[in-house]
Structure formats: C-alpha cells, structure tokens
Structure 1
C-alpha cells in the first residue's frame, strides 16, 4: 500500500476488514490529521495515546447516536451569578462536572440533583478514561447527569454545567467538527426526549458540589448513583453546599 492514495487504501481495507474495524481506522486517520494540524497551526503537540483515545471515543459516541439533528430547549445564562440558585417550583436542577487526572489518563464525573427547596435528591459519581479533550469529558458529564435524573424520576430538569463550550454547542450557538460533536448531538437527543428540559452555563463557583463529586469519582471503579440514601463520606461532602 506504500504508493497508494488514501482512498485506494480504504477501498482495499473495506474488502479485508470488518465494518467496525474500518470505522476505527478511518477515525484514527482523522484523529492523526487533526493532531497534525494542531502542531502545524497552533504549535500544540498531542500525546499519541490521547490521539488514539480520541479516535476510539469518536467511534463510540457515533455508535450511540440515534436521533441526530434535533433541537434543544434554549435557556439563558447569567455570567454574573455568584451562588447556586434553586430551580423554579416543580423543576429540578442537575449540576454536572468533570475532573481530570492527567497522570493516570482518568476522568471523574460528578452529578448532583436538587429540587426547588435546595434538597439533594440524588448524587452520582463515575470514573472513566480521559479521552484527550476536557470539553469531551464535560459533555460526558452532562450525559451522565441526564441518566441520573431519569433514574431518580426527576422531571422537568435544568442541566447546569460550567463548560461554556459544551453549553453553547448543545444550544447550537456554535458548531464544531471535532469529536465532541457526537456527544453534543446525543445531549440534544436526550433533552429532546424529555417533556421539558434545558441546559445552561453557570460559573465554577456555582457548581462546586458537582465538581467536588467529580474529584471523588476518580477513586471509584464503577458508576454509583445514590438516591437520598447517601453514605457518610458523601453526606459530609455535600453538607458543605446545602
């Protein structure tokens, strides 16, 4: 294949590899090209392991998409907000965040669900592999938060994230060709399936409960969801934000 162009190589592989293998090969080629452009245009060198992880994440996210090109309920955000504010009566706020542990290529996801009185109804943590992009992990935290809210039977919901990029992508205020677009389309699809749901940006100081849980999540091997029956460790952590 040394003297073939890329299209010929892929056509040749299509007859020799399974469809899933070919998809990963194409995603890896794209990830390498994307990493190369970052070096040339931005002077940013990416760890090859992160490039490979990004390719795998792109394929995984794409395979999860079932309802592309959907709309999401728009919401306004206030950049001057200083403290967490409860949702309107009858609504639930789902605060989400991600914490990154670069040394171990790990990410922790944290979720807190509260009602209009500020009562914590659910909390959740999940540890996962870091896929090379912080915004991608913030998007995964949003998806995890929606799952937790559904499990807790909390509806309607307002998702709060301190990732302005993820929020603006979800609200279609900006676009991206990076691998995060697959996770964002899944967020839009999930919110579309809710009877009433929105997503909005909040500053980090209004999202400290979720961020604290995200850091705790790094020590967990598997996802855990607590529905009011919280262990002492989590009670002590969350009591700081009640």
Structure 2
C-alpha cells in the first residue's frame, strides 16, 4: 500500500463491503459480489471529482450591534425553540445609548406552532416588558424579518 490511491481504493472497497453487509442484514437490495470492486472504485472516483470542484462560500454578513441615539433605548428580543422539551424561551434586553443594560427578561413558554409565531410572541412580550417598566422611546430589534414587518404594518 505504498500508493496513496491504492489505500483510498482499498478503504473504499472495505467500506463498500461493510455497507453491502448491512444492506443484507435489513434485506435490502445489494450489488452482486463480483461487481464490488468496480462499484467501489466508481464511487470513489465520483467522490473525488465532487471534492475537487472549487466551493465558493458566501460569508455571512457580519452583524454589529449599534447603540441607539442619545435619549433613546434599544430593545432586542429573540425566541428559541426547544422541540424536545415542547417549550420555547423568550429573551428581551433593553439598553441605553451607552450600551448599558437597563433591564433583561427571560421566560419559558409553551412551544408555538412556528418560528414566526415564536418571534412574534417575543416581540409582543418585549413591548409589554417596556410598558411594565414604564420605559419609553425604544427601538425594537429582532431577528425575524416577517415578524418585524407584521409589527410595522
């Protein structure tokens, strides 16, 4: 196995045999044994061709939090779904123009029917939180464009 290509072929054939064995155990359709070597090499060639194609990655736009203008507040809110628990979490943070946290809230709620619903509930709770604290002049900021559009309309 001095040849790296030979090692790749050998490893792929071993994997192919193991994979065929698993298919036999669950009574799935398998390729004839005499074709194993050819099929494994074809599989490896396809894999290597796909790997050699250049991948263009689009870097996510870096989001930088900006404080509000003097005299204003910024209220950030978000929701997180925990499907395995059947619950969701809502978080709200109020900051002033110096980026100082004035108030924060976290609540666990029953899992809503969708992420958009969760984000909308989080937005509503953020507004109620502002009223409870008697805070005025706040800019709302959330992740969900559709929720933010619904609130603006």
Question: Which of the pair has more CA radius of gyration?
Answer: 2
Q: Distance in 2 between matches of 1:112 and 1:129?
A: 21
Asked if residue 135 in structure 1 is aligned to residue 116 in structure 2, the reply is: yes
> Higher RCO, 1 or 2 (CA under 8 Å, sep at least 6)?
1
**Could you list the per-position Cα deviations for residues 180-238 of structure 1 after superposition, in whole angstroms to 9, with x for gaps in the alignment?**
xxxxxxxxxxxxxxxxxxxxxxxxxxxxxxxxxxxxxxxxxxxxxxxxxxxxxxxxxxx
Instruction: Tell me how far apart the structure 1 counterparts of residues 123 and 150 of structure 2 sit (CA, whole Å).
Output: 12
Structure 2 unpaired stretches of 5+:
1-60
> Partners of 1:145 and 1:128 in 2: how far apart?
14
Name the counterpart of 1:94.
75
Q: Which runs of 5+ in 1 are unaligned?
A: 1-79, 173-242
**1:144 and 1:89, CA in 2 relative to 1: closer, same or farther beyond 3 A?**
same
Structure 2 counterpart of 1:125 = 106
2:108 matched to 1:144? no
Please tell me whether residue 112 in structure 1 is matched to residue 93 in structure 2: yes
TM-score (norm 1): 0.37
TM-score (norm 2): 0.58
The count of aligned residue pairs is 94
Q: Structure 1 stretches (4+) deviating beyond 4 angstroms?
A: none
Distance 2:62 2:145 in 1: 14
CA RMSD of aligned residues (A): 1.6
The structure with more strand, counted as a fraction of residues? 2
Q: After superposition, what is the alpha-carbon deviation per residue over 1:128-175, rounded to whole angstroms, capped at 9, x for unaligned?
A: 101221110111101111111122222111110000110122223xxx
For the pair 1:162 / 2:143, whether they are aligned, the reply is yes
In the aligned structure 2, how far is the partner of 1:98 from the partner of 1:88? 26
